[in-house]
A and B are shown apart, each in its own frame.
Chain A
Amino acid sequence: MLRKLFSAGELALIRKDFTEIWNQKLVRSSLLVLPVLLSLGLPLLFLLLAVLLPPEELDAGAFETLLGPSLPDVEMRGQMYYVFTNLICPMLFAMIPLMSATVSASCAFVGEKERGTMETLLLSPLSVRKLFQAKVAGCSLLSGLITWISFVLFFIVTTVGDIVTGAPFFFSLNWFILVFLMSPALTVLGVVFMVMISGRSKTTMEAMQVSGYIVFPVVMLFVGQITGLFILQWWMLLLVTALLAGVDVLLYNRGFSKFTAEKLLA
C-alpha cells in the first residue's frame, strides 16, 4: 500500500529516517522506554498495588467521590483499578502518540539541519512538498506503530487486571475515541508542531524541550478529570478530537508554507 502512496524516492527517505532514528541511542530509548513504561510498567505496578495492598490502606471515600454510585457491586480493589484505568491511564496513554511524534519529528526535521544533510536532501529531485510529506508521513507512521503496540500491551495488562480485581472491562467508548480518533490527531499535532519550530531550533534536544508546550494542555485536560473537577464524557473527547484535527490542518498548511529551501537553510 505504501508503494502506491509514495514514490521510490519518498520510500527511500522514509526508510532512511527510520534507520536514523533507530541509530540514535537517546532517541531510540525515548521511543521505547517511555511507551513501555506508560502502557505496561505503570499499569502493571498499579495492578500489583491493587492486589497486594491490605484493604484498610484503601480509601473508600476517595473512590466514591470520583465514581459516585456508578460501581455499587464492585469491590474496593476493582473500583481502585477502574479509577486508574479510566481516569488516569487515558492521560498517560495520550502522552505516547504525542511524545513519540515529537521525538521522531525532532530527529527527522531538526536533526537533518543539525547534521548538515538538509541541504543534501534539498539537492535531490524530490520537491520540497514531497520531502515534507514523506517526512511527516514517516514520523506519523512510526508514532502510530508505537502507539498501537503500546495499546496492545496496555490492553493485555489491563484486561488481566480487570479480571483479577473484578473491575468492569476498561474498554469503553472513551477509550475507543482516544485510541482510534484522538491518538492519530495527537500524532499529527506532534509532528507538524515540530515542523513549525524546526526553523528556530538549532539542535534535536532543543526541539524536544520546546515540544513540552503542546504536552502541557493535553495533560491539563486529563488532570481536571483526576482532581474530580469533571469527568470527561465521550462527546467531550470527540469535541476535543475535532478541535485537534482542525489545529492539525491549520498547522500542517502553515508548517508547509515555512518549509522552503531558503528558510530551511537559513
Chain B
Amino acid sequence: MDAIQAANLTKKFESVVALSGLDLTVKAGSVTGYLGPNGSGKTTTVKLLTGLLQPTVGDSTVLGLSSSKESEKIHAQTGVLTETASCYRHLSALENLQFFGALFGLPAAQVRARADYLLKKLDLWEVRNRKAGTFSTGMKQRLSLARALIHSPKVLFLDEPTSGLDPESAAGVNRMIADMACAEGVTVLLCTHQLRYAADICDTFAILDRGRLQASGTLEDLVAAAGVRPVASFRVAQDAVLPEDLTQNGECWEKDLDSEAEMPALVTALVSAGVSIYEARIRRPSLEDVYFTFVQEGGGKEADRDAS
C-alpha cells in the first residue's frame, strides 16, 4: 500500500514555480530520502502533502486522505517537523509535549508516558522542566522532533531533522528514525542535505532540483539511471608506468569499470606489467555521486525521472 501519493503536484507563488508536476509514490513502512538543494521545492512539497498549502495544479493523498480536503485527518496520523514550526518558548519541554499531546486528543496519562519516553530517548530528560526558550538550537530541534512523535504517527515528514545537531546527536536521531520505521512500520519522508545520513537509513530516494523531480527509486535504480559506473582505484609506487586509460585522482589512479567483474583482470594486467600496487579497491557509486549527477545536469531535464 502507498502511504503517500502525489500526482502532477504543482505550486506557483505569483510568478515563481516552486514545484512543477511532481509524481511521487512512497510505500508504507519505507524511509524515503527526499533530496535536493536549497530552494528545490522540498519544504513546499511537505507543506502541500500536509495541507498547509493548496496546490495550483494536481493533488496528493496521505494514507488515502486528500491533502487539500482532509488535512485535519492527515495531521491526526502524521508527524511533521519543519524548520519553521517551533515549540512554545514560555513552556518547558515537558509542558510543550503535554500541550501538543492534549491537542491531539490523547489522555493525560498516555501523553505523560510517551513524553517521558521521548525526552529520555532524545536526551532531553535532564532539561525537561526548563523553558524551551532557554534551549540551544540542537535541543530545540530535538524537542520539535519529540513534538512530531508525541502521538505515535503512522507517517513522519521530517524536513532537515538533524539541522543544528552535533554529529553524535544527529547519528542518534537517525538511528531512532530507522528503528521506528523498522519496528513500528512508520513511513518516513526525510528531506535532507546530509547525503551520508540519508544513504544510511533510507530505502528509496527522490531527487528534486528547481521544483522538478529528477529521479526516484532505490540507490541501484538511481545509479543505473544516472549512468554512474563503479571505479577501480589503485595506489601505486611513484615511479610506476601505468596504462593510458588510468587517470590520476589525488594519490590514486582510477579507471571507470562497466562492472565489478572487470577488476580481477585489471589487477592481473597491472601486476603483470610490473606495477607495484599498494592498494586496490572498487569505489562503488555513492548517493553523493548520483545526487550531483542529477542536480548538476539541471532542472529542465525530465528524462529518466522514474528509474524504478
Contacts and interface: CB of A to CB of B under 8 A. Distances in A.
Interface stretch (B50-58, B191-199, B242-250, B263-271): B50-58
Contacts of B89: 115
A262 B52 contact: yes
A124 B52 contact: no
Given A13-B103, A125-B72, A116 B86 contact: yes
Given A13-B103, A19-B90, A125-B104, A262 B54 contact: yes
A123 interface: yes
Interface in B66-98: 71-73, 75-76, 80, 82, 84-91
A19 B82 CA distance: 25
A19 B102 CA distance: 15
B86 A115 contact: yes
A117 B52 contact: no
A127 interface: yes
Interface stretch (A4-12, A94-102, A233-241): A4-12
B99 interface: yes
Contact of B72 (A8, A117, A119, A127): A127
B135 interface: no
B100 interface: yes
Contacts of B71: 261
Contacts of A123: 50, 52, 75, 80, 85
B85 A124 contact: no
A262 to B, nearest CB: 5
B300 interface: no
B103 A124 contact: yes
Contacts of B82: 119
A161 to B, nearest CB: 40
B64 interface: no
A124 B72 CA distance: 7
A124 B87 CA distance: 13
B147 interface: yes
B86 A12 contact: no
Interface string A245-266: 0000000000000000110010
Contacts, number: 72
A206 to B, nearest CB: 19
Given A119-B52, A262-B53, A262-B54, A124 B100 contact: yes
A9 B50 contact: no
Which of B72, B84, B91 gathers most chain A CB within 10 Å?
B72
B52 A125 contact: no
A117 B147 CA distance: 12
Nearest to B148: A123
Interface in A118-146: 119-127
B76 A125 contact: yes
Contacts of B76: 125
Contacts of A126: 72, 103
Nearest to B81: A123
A104 to B, nearest CB: 15
A126 to B, nearest CB: 7
Which of B51, B82, B88, B103 gathers most chain A CB within 10 Å?
B103
Contacts of B84: 116, 119
B89 to A, nearest CB: 7
Contacts of A121: 103
Contact of A117 (B51, B54, B86): B86
A120 B99 contact: no
Contacts of A11: 102
A16 interface: yes
A257 B105 CA distance: 26
B52 A12 contact: no
B75 A125 contact: yes
Interface string B26-58: 000000000000000000000100111110000
B54 to A, nearest CB: 6
A115 B52 contact: no
Given A12-B102, A261-B53, A120 B90 contact: no
Nearest to A266: B13
A65 interface: no
19 contacts: A12-B99, A13-B103, A16-B88, A19-B90, A19-B91, A20-B90, A116-B85, A119-B82, A119-B85, A121-B103, A122-B52, A123-B80, A124-B100, A125-B104, A127-B72, A261-B51, A261-B52, A261-B53, A262-B52
Interface of A: 7-9, 11-13, 16, 19-20, 23-24, 115-117, 119-127, 261-262, 265
8 closest A-B pairs by beta carbon, nearest first, are: A12-B102, A125-B76, A116-B86, A119-B85, A120-B85, A23-B90, A124-B103, A9-B103
Given A9-B102, A125-B104, 5 more contacts: A11-B102, A115-B89, A116-B84, A123-B50, A125-B76
